[in-house]
Amino acid sequence: MSIQLTINQQPVKVDDSDKDMPLLWFIREQQGLKGTKFGCGIGQCGACTVHYNGQALRSCSVTMEQLQGADIVTIEALAPGEEELHPVQEAWKEIDVPQCGYCQAGQIMAAAAMLKATPKPTEEQIDQVMTNICRCGTYVRIRKAIHLAVDKLAKAAG
């Protein structure tokens, strides 16, 4: 029996022999989507964050077997079109958040999921949700970009 799910709006069938494979490795190795990064392998750092049914999920800590019927979105499909950026990506770019950039796809995915659920987060809500680790310490710029993204999303909503 195969596992069926969608990744970036594309239907995917997973062979039963891959049921124990972490989603992270399936995304990177089977789907060729390299934006989702390996960091720690134990769900602590957040470099591997993707959206699972609209919520942030650390893809290194969930196996394919657990994803029957899931809707997965990676950083490659966060933006509405190929030539567009998501407002969070725009804010990241405007604030020049990345230093090394390694964790940024996971940071962006976590922020986008948070802002979808909580369009105007408080500082405390940001602290509770944004637990991804940035070894370069760009947390001040990340927070600034989140606030800019809030404004961009509010403007886009009308």
Domain with CATH 3.10.20.30 in the chain: 3-77
Closest CA to 23 of 38, 11, 9: 38
Report the CATH fold assignment for 3-77. Answer: Ubiquitin-like (UB roll) (3.10.20)
Query: Residues for the chain: how many in total?
Result: 158
Task: Compare 1 and 126 and report the one with higher pLDDT.
Answer: 126
Domain with CATH 1.10.150.120 in the chain: 87-157
Cα atoms in the 13 Å half-sphere on the side-chain side of 1: 4
Q: Which pLDDT belongs to residue 83? A: 84
Q: Which pLDDT belongs to residue 149? A: 98
User: What is d(CA 147, CA 68) in angstroms, rounded to the nearest whole number?
Assistant: 35
Range 7-16 average pLDDT: 95
- For residue 20, count CB atoms less than 10 angstroms from its CB and return exposed for 0-12, middle for 13-18, buried for 19 or more: exposed
Domain 87-157: assigned CATH number: 1.10.150.120
Neighbours of 148 (CB within 10 A): 17
